[in-house]
Structures are given as structure tokens and as C-alpha cells.
């Protein structure tokens, strides 16, 4: 994890300059994802500030700043507001590197550390096995995600797990052990398919 310099800082961003640096990196990431690097007008760039991805990033950076300053209850309140407005609940103590991208923040629960360019897809559960409240201090057994990690839709990373750099957690994967760098994980989809011409009263699953 080369870009984990931010993560090793136990107190989080120490000032507004750090938060601005992280937020501008997030904004650049969102712009890169949505426009594909094509030049856009100033108004259109400004419009991207209202995207849910940017809202999540802004709320989390502010909450993380407050958490780093020891204002844990205020950080929890900001996190709660973010949950109500966007649907993503990120633990305010979780150190996330620059370039966070959360395209669809519904049902996301995140409590872990991550490197640069993290992508969280909807419905992901990243955190220790037992639940920690946003007002609680950052737990020691939280998962550690490397750089460029992608956590797929409805996936879960639980416990003190290390996910290597560039790893992709597939759709619906529950990972309780370490994931090596660069791996694309998946689960076997065992589906039972049958014709739909079963008689009435049969299971239409």
C-alpha cells in the first residue's frame, strides 16, 4: 500500500488544507468518472458538486476532520445526517485516501481504512464483525483496504481483513479472510432454474 501514507496517520487530517486536498482529489475523481476526462463547462463542473458521490465525500471528510479533533459526537451527528440524506453510513473515524468514489450510496455501511481511489458500490458492508456506533472510537479490528480497491454491490468485508491493492470484491461476496493484491473475487452462483410452466401452487422461485 504505497498510497497509504494518509492511512497511517492515526489522528486523521489535521487541518482544513488536508481536507481541501482530499476533497479536490475526490472531485477530480468524480469528474474523471462522469465526463471521461473530456473538457466540460464551468457550470457543468459545478453541477457535479451536487452528485451523491460528492455529497458522501464532503460529509465524510468533514466528519473525519471532527473525529480527528476529538469531537466524536459532532462527527457522529454529521455521519448520521449523511446517512439520512444520501443513504451511506461511513464511520467518521475511517481513514479513506484521496479519490473516494461512491456512485450510488444507498445502503452502504463502511467502517475501515482504505487507500487511494476507493470505489464503493451500493449495498456494501465493510466493517468489523461486531457493530460499532459512529460515535465510538475507530476499532482496531476494522478491515484495511489497499489502493484502487473496488467493493462490489452487496458485498461484505467483515473482520480484521486486509484487502490488497487493486483487488476487486465481486458482487455479493462475503470476505472473512485476506484478499491478495490484484485479485478479482467471486462466489459460485448456484442457481436452480426450472421452467415456469409449473402448476398453480408450485414455488415460483
Partner 1 sequence: MSERAETDAARGIPLAGASKSADGRRQCWAQMRMALAADRAHWHRRGHGSARLYRGYHAVWLYRLSRYSHERGWRMAAWLLWLVNGWWTGSDIPPSSRIAGGLFLPYPFGAVIAGAVGRDAAFGVQASIGGLLKEPDQDIGGGPGLPLLGDGVVLEAGAIVLGAVRIGDRARLGPRTTILKDVEPGETVMPQPWRALPGRGAAA
Q: Per CB under 8 A, does 158 bind partner 1?
A: yes
Q: Per CB under 8 A, does 192 bind partner 1?
A: no
Q: Residues 82, 88: contact at Cβ < 8 Å?
A: yes
> From the CB of 162, what's the least distance to partner 1, in Å?
13
> Could you identify the residue written with the cell 440524506?
85
Choice between 74 and 181, CB closer to partner 1? 181
Q: Residues 122, 86: contact at Cβ < 8 Å?
A: no
> From the CB of 31, what's the least distance to partner 1, in Å?
28
Q: How far apart are CA 189 and CA 8, in angstroms?
A: 37
Show the cell assigned to 87: 443513504
Sign of CA dihedral 87, 92, 96, 99: positive
Question: Would you put residue 178 in left (φ > 0), alpha (ψ -120 to 50) or beta?
Answer: beta
x-or-dash string of contact with partner 1, 95-134, rule CB under 8 A:
------------x-x---------------x-x-x-x-x-
Q: Per CB under 8 A, does 203 bind partner 1?
A: yes
Binding stretches for partner 1 (CB under 8 A): 83, 89, 107, 109, 125, 127, 129, 131, 133, 154, 156, 158, 164, 166-167, 169-170, 172-177, 179-188, 201, 203-205
Amino acid at each position: 500500500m504505497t498510497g497509504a501514507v494518509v492511512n497511517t496517520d492515526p489522528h486523521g487530517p489535521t487541518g482544513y488544507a488536508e481536507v481541501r486536498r482530499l476533497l479536490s482529489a475526490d472531485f477530480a475523481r468524480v469528474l474523471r468518472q462522469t465526463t471521461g476526462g473530456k473538457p466540460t463547462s464551468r457550470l457543468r463542473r459545478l453541477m457535479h458538486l451536487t452528485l451523491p458521490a460528492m455529497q458522501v465525500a464532503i460529509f465524510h471528510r468533514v466528519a473525519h476532520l471532527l473525529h480527528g479533533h476529538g469531537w466524536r459526537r459532532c462527527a457522529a451527528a454529521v455521519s448520521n445526517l449523511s446517512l439520512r440524506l444520501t443513504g451511506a453510513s461511513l464511520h467518521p473515524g475511517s481513514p479513506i485516501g484521496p479519490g473516494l468514489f461512491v456512485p450510488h450510496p444507498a445502503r452502504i455501511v463502511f467502517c475501515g481504512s482504505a487507500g487511494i481511489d476507493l470505489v464503493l458500490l451500493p449495498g456494501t458492508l465493510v466493517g468489523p464483525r461486531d457493530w460499532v456506533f459512529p460515535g465510538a472510537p475507530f476499532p482496531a479490528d476494522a478491515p484495511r483496504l489497499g489502493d484502487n480497491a473496488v467493493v462490489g454491490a452487496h458485498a461484505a468485508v467483515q473482520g480484521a481483513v486486509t484487502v490488497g491493492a487493486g483487488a476487486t470484491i465481486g458482487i455479493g461476496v462475503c470476505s472473512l479472510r485476506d484478499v491478495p493484491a490484484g485479485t478479482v473475487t467471486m462466489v459460485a452462483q448456484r442457481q436452480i432454474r426450472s421452467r415456469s410452466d409449473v402448476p398453480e401452487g408450485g414455488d415460483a422461485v
